[in-house]
Amino acid sequence: MRLLTHNMLASNIKGVTNGFPLRIEPEKIIEKPVDFNPDFLKNMFSKIDWKALADASKIMGYAELPDEVPEQTVVESDEFLRKFHHALLEVHLEEGALVCPETGRRFPVNKGIPNMLLHEDEV
């Protein structure tokens, strides 16, 4: 699971109002190289929740992203885009869990695939 996916996931349990972002409990982190594409990254930047990405990236062992939302001039820079690229697309949670921030319910991640299926009493 890429951090882009983590950034798009929220707890889906019935009644939960603050289900984003899910807390990451990493057990195994891997890196997979992806072709660098500035246009895609600039497009995605506007859709990303920055704080969620920066925090998740840190938990995943990559602390190169600024805590504050970067200025537009910074976003255009190659140096920034390469870090953003790495955090967003190349760092994968292979094994571990995603935890609902409101209820503490754990969603397991196995072989890079989060399992968001709910029990009957959670739907």
Residues in contact with other proteins by CB under 8 A are 1-2, 4-5, 7-12, 19-20, 32, 34-35, 37, 39-40, 43-44, 47, 49, 107, 111-118
Least gap, CB of 37 to other proteins (angstroms) = 5
Considering the complex, what minimum distance in angstroms separates the CB of residue 118 from other proteins?
A: 7
User: For residues 10 and 59, which CB has a smaller minimum distance to other proteins in the complex?
Assistant: 10
Tokens for 68, please give them: 């504050």
User: Beta-carbon neighbour count of residue 21 at 10 Å?
Assistant: 20
The helix (H) or strand (E) run that includes residue 102 is none
Q: How far is the CB of 77 from other proteins (least distance, A)?
A: 20
**59 versus 116: smaller Cβ distance to other proteins:** 116
Query: What is the residue-wise DSSP string for 36-48?
Result: --HHHHHHHHTTS
Minimal distance in Å, beta carbon 56 to other proteins? 13
CA nearest to 27, candidates 87, 122, 111, 123: 111
Nearer to other proteins, 29 or 116 (CB): 116
- Cβ proximity of 80 and 74 under 8 Å: yes
